[in-house]
A = this chain, B = another copy of it.
Amino acid sequence: MSPQEVAQEPAHTPRRSKITPERAQEFYAAVLDMLRESGYEALTMEGVAARTRCGKSTLYRQWGSKPELVVAALHGTRQALLPHIDTGSLAGDLREAARSIGAGSGRDTPLVHALSHAALQSPELLCALREVLIAPGLAAIDAMVRRGVERGEIRPDNPAAEFVSAQLLGVMRARPLLEGKNADEAYLTRFVENAILPSLGLSAPAH
């Protein structure tokens, strides 16, 4: 708690910490990079200290412990992974979402991958993971579907609607395991075009 306040307030209250917000971002970036590379368990405070060229004491002074540091890193680097998408049609939105997710897949997929198991042991971590990586994507996709309903493109009770987000995020996580490569833009675009849209009844199956 206290560290974020300190690190995120540019100036205002007589700031005690010498960690500038930019410096904090360096810490956070290092943490997330190391998470992506080696996972949560292999992430060590010593490693973070070495990579950021600071003392362990600084890390413990500011964040208290490894789980808190990781949670702070997640929250501190919130970046809209699905930026405002509103193309005017559900199909367009989903295509654009596939593009956007695919473009960022090298960044977010490994993160989710690295944290998804560790999160089961720690409620705080699970909460941060959902809040930062899962919920925004989920909300964005659900919003697209909702707008699609409002525009009358699909019916409110379209039975495939509830699966759209699970399909997108699921396939994104499944492909590395199945085929050994990340779900990139091209793959996700094909997926939306050939699987999701037809399931919603939004494009005539090509046969």
Residues of chain A having any CB pair with chain B under 8 Å:
38-39, 41-42, 112-114, 116-118, 120-121, 130, 134, 138, 154-155, 158-160, 162-163, 165-167, 169-175, 177-178, 190-191, 193-196, 198-201, 205-207
CB-defined contacts of A41 to chain B, threshold 8 Å: 41
Tell whether, in the assembled complex, residue B178 and residue A165 are in contact, meaning their CB atoms are under 8 Å apart: yes
A207 with B174: CB separation less than 8 A: no
The minimal Cβ–Cβ distance linking A157 to chain B, given in whole angstroms, is 8
Please give the distance in Å from A173's CB to the nearest CB on chain B: 6
Specify the main secondary structure of chain A where it touches its partner: helix
Contacts A116-B113, A138-B178, A173-B170 known; A196 to B199 CB distance under 8 Å? yes
| Residues in chain B near residue A200, CB distance under 8 A | 198, 205
Flag if A194 contacts B199 (CB, 8 Å).
yes
Q: What are the residues of chain B within 8 A of A39 when measuring CB–CB? A: 117-118, 120-121
Measured between alpha carbons, how far is A112 from B117 in the docked complex, in Å? Answer: 10
Write out the residue numbers on chain B whose beta carbons fall within 8 Å of the beta carbon of A194.
159-160, 162-163, 199
A207 touches B158 (CB 8 A): yes
**Top 3 A-B pairs, shortest CB-CB distance:** A170-B170, A170-B174, A201-B205
